[in-house]
Amino acid sequence: MPNTQLLAPDPAGLKAAAAILRAGGLVAMPTETVYGLAADARNDRAVAAIFDAKGRPRFNPLIVHLADLSLLDSLATLTPLADRLAQAFWPGPLTLVLPLRADSGLSPLVTAGLSSVAIRLPATDVAQRLLAQFNGPVAAPSANPSGRISPVTPAHVMAGLAGRIDGVIDGGPCTVGLESTIVDATGGAPRLLRAGGVPVEALEEALGQTLSPPHKGTITAPGQMPSHYAPRGRVRLNVLRPAADEIWVGFGPCPGATLTLSESGNLTEAAARLFHALHEADALAGKDGRIAFAPVPETGLGRAINDRLRRAAAPRG
């Protein structure tokens, strides 16, 4: 079991983190969405160690993170459609699924043997500096035990994975607070695979066309599993009158709420607070307690927020 180091987001800390990656180790890195559990995407053993540390039941494909566009052509083909989205939203909370190059050198565990690869250029300065220093493709799922709430602070990462990974870079809280939006841009009609930090409305505006919804019935992302992002206690949604024993998480005016996603009803603030609130409610409710969320509108970032809340509330498999 490694002794998990908390690394400062300064040149010495980033140098140490890049050295861990080069040696095939695991480092949690801050991004604007959530903390990612980073490993060298070309190293089979390092990528396998990600699944082991998370206790992920299956080998789902992982997102490859790049510092900038310079390595992209060696890994994947940027379709015209993807190029438009990349111009508009990279670096940022958007992941594009692209045709994989046969000679990419990526571990097949990263792509789960598919002929496509998911790529993202994160916007957070600390992530960009780590990726630039490492100078290679970095595979990173969210840095939480499988099925649990995504981490948006270094303390969340430590609580879930201390002793299982080599280091955590302390980049403070994540600014967006929701995972990236994933779009299949392999060709043909662009398809939304996961709602996230870039609202669908913004993508459709940049594309000048509507996005097809996810394929029904095929689970392509762990975030697509019905129960995910789950606190230990039971979760109810769209609650305006909570029971006396419920931890009530408000949105907009909710007198008496224990916690709030956004008192003013602001969706950006609510997205940034969502996983904090889930972690806090989980700590307050414990495994036998109950958590109730006030309704959140289904527009803009509200779609991704409601997607995560529905999975947090789903019956456990």
- Site of interaction with Mg ion (CB under 5 A): 142
Of residues 61 and 190, the one with the C-beta less far from ligand TXA: 61
Nearest approach in angstroms of CB 10 to ligand TXA is 21
CB of 182 to Mg ion, least distance (A): 11
Say which entry of Mg ion, ligand TXA, none residue 47 contacts (CB below 5 to 8 A, set by partner kind). none
Helix axis angle, 267-285 to 302-313, nearest 10°: 20
Q: Which does 62 bind (CB under 5 to 8 A by kind): ligand TXA, Mg ion, none?
A: ligand TXA
In terms of Cβ atoms closer than 10 Å to its own Cβ (0-12, 13-18, 19+), residue 32 is buried
Provide, rounded to whole angstroms, the least separation between the CB of residue 146 and Mg ion: 8
If binding is defined by CB under 6 A, does position 91 make contact with ligand TXA?
no
> Is residue 28 close enough to count as binding ligand TXA by CB under 6 A?
no
User: What secondary structure does DSSP assign to 184-205, as a single string?
Assistant: E-SSSS-EEEE--SS-HHHHHH
Q: Which of 317, 20, 316, 11 is nearest to 168 (CA)?
A: 20
Instruction: Select from ligand TXA, Mg ion, none the partner in contact with residue 104, using the beta carbon and a kind-dependent cut-off of 5 to 8 Å.
Output: none
Q: How far is the CB of 233 from ligand TXA (least distance, A)?
A: 22
Round to whole Å and give the CA distance between 317 and 296: 25
Grouping H, G, I as helix, E, B as strand and the rest as coil, residue 208 is coil
Q: Which residue is nearest to Mg ion (CB)?
A: 142
Residue that is written with structure tokens 């960009």 in the block = 128
Burial of 8 (0-12, 13-18, 19+ CB in 10 A): middle
- Cα–Cα distances (Å) from 32 to 7, 196, 272, in that order, read 18, 12, 10
CB 185 within 8 A of CB 98: yes
In Å, how far from its chain's centre is CA 294? Answer: 23
Nearer to ligand TXA, 36 or 250 (CB): 36
Of 228 and 258, the one with the shorter C-beta distance to ligand TXA is: 228
**33 interacts with ligand TXA by CB under 6 A:** yes
Among 18, 63, 85, 296, binds ligand TXA (CB under 6 A): 63
**For residues 127-186, which are near ligand TXA according to CB under 6 A?**
140-142, 179-180, 182
Alpha carbons 293 and 306: distance in angstroms, whole number = 10
- Measured between alpha carbons, how far is 60 from 227 in angstroms, rounded to an integer? 16
Which one, 30 or 250, has the nearer CB to ligand TXA?
30
User: What is the per-residue binding string for ligand TXA in 104-123, x denoting contact by CB under 6 A?
Assistant: -------x--x-xxx-x---
DSSP 212: B
Per-residue contact track with ligand TXA, 200 to 239, x per CB under 6 A? --------------------xxxx----------------
Residues 40 and 138: their CA atoms lie apart, in Å, by 5
CB nearer ligand TXA, residue 295 or residue 300: 300
Residue 46 beta carbon to ligand TXA: minimum distance, rounded to whole angstroms: 15
Tell me which of Mg ion, ligand TXA, none is bound by residue 95, counting a contact when its beta carbon lies within the kind-specific cut-off of 5 to 8 angstroms: ligand TXA
Q: Is 138 helix (H, G, I), strand (E, B) or coil?
A: strand
Identify whether the C-beta of residue 177 lies closer than 8 Å to the C-beta of residue 271.
Answer: yes
Question: What is d(CA 152, CA 287) in angstroms, rounded to the nearest whole number?
Answer: 21
Least distance in angstroms from the C-beta of 311 to ligand TXA: 12
Residues of the shown chain interacting with ligand TXA in the complex, contacts defined by CB under 6 A: 31, 33-34, 36, 60-63, 95, 97, 111, 114, 116-118, 120, 140-142, 179-180, 182, 193, 220-223
